[in-house]
Amino acid sequence: MPELPEVETTKNGIEPYLIDSVVEKIVIRQPNLRWPITPELPENMEGQVIRSVSRRGKYIGIHTDNGTMMAHLGMSGSLYLVEQKTEALFHDHVDVVLSTGQCLRYTDPRRFGSILWTENDWMQHPLLNSLGPEPLTCAFNSDYLVAKAKMRKKPIKTFIMDSKIVVGVGNIYANEALFKSGIRPDRHAGRISERRLSLLVENIKIILREAIEQGGTTLKDFVGGDGKPGYFKQSLSVYGRAGSACVNCQKELTESRLGQRSTVFCSYCQK
């Protein structure tokens, strides 16, 4: 599943090809994604100049003077540029045809993603207006997390994966950040010291930044014939390694399920 680093890399990859280009046409081959594509998208976007591209949580906003196209990659979606003559295949649901001779193509085999249009400030859209802070901004800091965690009985892993608390900490990154911080994933958020929560904040930032940097090396994949971006192969300490040896103490890593998500941790190193 594309996580925040993949979405950030997608945004950075497509941005230079979109800015200042004119949308000549929107081609919708399959409108039924997670939600139906906003029917007014073509009439509002065609003829418009793309002014900027941004990201909020896992949404990419493509902004024109008329409004914003909001794209979410869901479980299996990708957005990338192709030459206009590139034949569309079965899962290529939407093309944003540009004045540059290229088009921005949206491909999504499982169709859990979405393409929506809003004429208003996209930050006020119901899908975005209650999101927590971005993890890589100063708004996500230890004072903030300590205040939010106070009295909370939720397991810390479920807590940091809640997009109302902080966006973009998916399952892989939650597992890794808790291991790096020495915190058991099932410990109640409200029972963790300020010092350890502060360490967790730092480690979430470090792990996400590393993933984004790695993604930067695959930027070329966002342009070209069939170059669909793959997911990042980050070296992981715990995720996907249940039953293997802990990289710190060599004892066997434990797997459990928390909020239905695979949770791997070292019961010796994480307290």
Catalytic residue among 34, 111, 196, 261: 261
3-state class (DSSP) for residue 114: strand
Closest distance to Zn ion from the beta carbon of 178 (Å)? 12
| CA dist., res. 95 & res. 81, Å (int) | 9
Closest distance to Zn ion from the beta carbon of 194 (Å)? 24
Q: List all residues 6 or more positions away from 158 whose beta carbon is below 8 Å from its beta carbon.
A: 258, 259
| CA dist., res. 244 & res. 238, Å (int) | 9
Which C-beta is closer to Zn ion: that of 144 or that of 268?
268
3-state class (DSSP) for residue 24: strand
Which C-beta is closer to Zn ion: that of 4 or that of 156?
156
Closest distance to Zn ion from the beta carbon of 270 (Å)? 7
C-alpha 18: how far from its chain's center? Answer: 20
Which C-beta is closer to Zn ion: that of 7 or that of 266?
266
Closest distance to Zn ion from the beta carbon of 204 (Å)? 20
Q: Are 152 and 188 in contact (CB under 8 A)?
A: yes
3-state class (DSSP) for residue 187: coil
Q: Which two tokens stand for residue 119?
A: 């004429």
Closest residue by Cα to residue 210 from 230, 185, 184, 236: 236
Is 196 labeled as catalytic in the residue annotation?
no
Which C-beta is closer to Zn ion: that of 148 or that of 180?
180
Closest distance to Zn ion from the beta carbon of 263 (Å)? 15
Is 2 labeled as catalytic in the residue annotation?
yes
| CA dist., res. 51 & res. 122, Å (int) | 14
Q: Are 244 and 153 in contact (CB under 8 A)?
A: no
Closest distance to Zn ion from the beta carbon of 17 (Å)? 45
Is 261 labeled as catalytic in the residue annotation?
yes
DSSP state of 208: H
Q: Footprint of Zn ion on this chain (CB under 5 A)?
A: 246, 248-249, 266, 268-269
Which C-beta is closer to Zn ion: that of 183 or that of 246?
246
Catalytic residue among 11, 55, 56, 58: 58
Which C-beta is closer to Zn ion: that of 105 or that of 184?
184
- The Cα-based distances of 215 to 11, 29, 88 in angstroms read 11, 29, 26
Catalytic residue among 3, 6, 8, 134: 3
CA-CA-CA-CA torsion sign (27, 5, 191, 258): positive
Residues taking part in catalysis: 2-3, 58, 261
